[in-house]
Structure 1
């Protein structure tokens, strides 16, 4: 047995955000054997003022306004997973890079540093490793805390994001240069990270295997949106409905399969809502809790990933891929990422609208128990438990102490 260690993780994705994230999935698995202190991506003063009525703000109001009571246990049944809530910071992303931005960035970093100092005192944190998951804006210098290891977690192509990429693409490159280790979630991101550090590794995304297997083995109730549609085949997508989607392809698919239901489960990006044709066979559910997703997957006959093929999507290894497979579902996807090729004939990759449309039909018609078992078996090798074991194998040689951490 290896020795357990505390982990401090700062992530861009908050644990109670609108959709599941790589960072929090990794944190939950790490927390099975280690204390994990999951630091909120700080809310700004503007966030607090404009969203005061929302639960995310109300549940954090005391730490946001006072900087006190920063720590809170996330789940009643797991004392190892603790949310750290910093005081609200100044909104500065709209400033151009320069002296004012740099000064305010230091002010904001001081706020987050204070939250970590308080957490270290209150929870008696002595030795820890620090993971920054795709948030190079804060805790830019953690040397005062003397972590045994610093890990940068690259989960997306930051340079392709108009908002966070404005300053983030430079800050992320600096973080990769300075941190002990960088782990990337896709082959493309690994190639990018390797430009800045020799200590880069590829750690792909995974699935909460047991959670999504509920779609196979549990008698889950049919979601309300699908009542009265028992005779219809369902083509389904689960995830964020946003700028990554090829709406032209999706609309053609909806028209070509007018006899089937096109089910879109997930929050819709406001600026993209008009791009999806609201045909009679298209159902958009909006955001759904993570706990309810297996019930939707259970009644899907073919799962799709209709992403655009561009520089942003080329770096994506989508969480939904292994979630679909864990539920035993056929998958038709565009060839947006080289990571898809590792799945061989378990998934179907099509790059023209016509072949995508035909592929969906063929996958529905030819589905079988044997194919479902094959998909589940593949997903069983891509679990967060397996990823955490690989994580420790990657980082243990770089930890600054005599004995490696638990793995």
Structure 2
């Protein structure tokens, strides 16, 4: 049944019966995300794949606008208990029509499910525009980042976040500095910094087969994996490469929202592109120092980079700019070194080059990571939900 064949009101009423009927099925958790499941494997995928053990997770992505076919939902199941729903909409639709189409597509599909409790999990406040009619048993706002500070953020995002804050039963933040702001806006906010799959990245501590595109690169190697966007300090990387042309800088990840032509081009800077999550330990194993060259600007003011514990779990020393959550969380660990200028970055790297794999360094790393795991993080989040059900 397509959009034209079923009135929107009927679909909405059917979807609402999901929360009004007696519980006959596992709770349905609809996760509304601005990040795609198949993009970079990070917090949304880690958390949702673990919550899927107890809830039926529907990962609802932002729409894809292409062609002129009628609106439809494309569904896939990338992991047990996870369904990814992608709205496919024709080009040229207005913002209001896009929201109306998403609302109806979601209602229709939810109405086909067995009655049961409905949970809503927002990674983006913008999704409230087509879900504000749903009365979930629990509404979660997982505020990973201060999205309004990111390049290309919608003008109405701040207002939408204010509305979501008023509706949310619980708010999680991606780091402590962001929590310090959001806890003044919501009485049930919790700092939940992104965690790490230690066993996965600890593979980098052992001898592994070098990826072919990295094997031929000389050493010492300084590495970065992650999204290369407006948060990345292009000038810092360029100047470090210029100061030490004998060092090789390996950058693994997609280039997003910035012109690739603006990236520095030097013989000792190597752009390897995006790689799968499963491949990252093999790259990390071949680095002598891991880098976090983030620019200090509005888009990085509240970030708490997931890659900090991932690098450390792989047994690699880290040199970072002065990101507040990194300084406060790891600055005294003896495993992460903070520098703000190209010259200071070079000095910090020089001091870190001899640390990788040494027993004392690994002891400091393990102490810094003690108790951290995505299992523990997801368990805490689930406990907050269950307390509200």
The answer, yes or no, to whether TM exceeds 0.5 is: yes
RMSD (Å), alpha carbons: 2.5
Q: Is the 8 A contact 1:108 1:138 kept in 2?
A: no
> Paired residue for 1:29, among 41, 50, 73?
50
Asked if residue 300 in structure 1 is aligned to residue 287 in structure 2, the reply is: yes
> For 1:194, which of 183, 189, 207 is the aligned residue?
183
Pair 1:72 & 2:76 matched: yes
Superposition map of 1:7-406 within 5 A: 7-17=29-39, 19-43=40-64, 45=65, 48-49=66-67, 65-67=69-71, 70-75=74-79, 78=80, 80-88=81-89, 104-133=94-123, 135-140=124-129, 142=131, 144-217=133-206, 219-229=207-217, 232-269=219-256, 271-343=258-330, 344-345=332-333, 346-367=335-356, 368-379=358-369, 381-399=371-389
In structure 1, distance between residues paired with 2:151 and 2:197: 30
Rounded Cα–Cα distance in structure 2 between residues aligned with 1:199 and 1:242: 32
Q: Report the TM-score, using the length of structure 2 for normalisation.
A: 0.85
Superposed CA deviations along residues 131-176 of structure 1, whole A, max 9, x for unmatched, are 011x222243646443110011111222212422422122122211
Tell me the CA shift for residue 67 of structure 1.
4.8
Q: Which SS does the other structure have where 1:86 is aligned? A: strand
Unaligned runs of 5+ in 2: 1-24
* Structure 1 stretches of at least 4 aligned residues deviating more than 6 Å after TM superposition: 89-92
TM-score by length of 1: 0.81
Secondary structure at 2:41's aligned position in 1? coil
- Structure 1 contact 7–37 (Cα < 8 Å) conserved: yes
Structure 1 gaps, min length 5: 50-63, 93-103, 400-407
* 1:83 shift after superposition: 1.0
Could you say if the C-alpha distance between residues 143 and 40 of structure 1 is closer, same or farther in structure 2, counting changes exceeding 3 Å? closer
1:217-248 Cα offsets, whole Å, 9 max, x none, are 4x43211222334x611100111122112222
Give the secondary structure class of the aligned counterpart of 2:141. strand
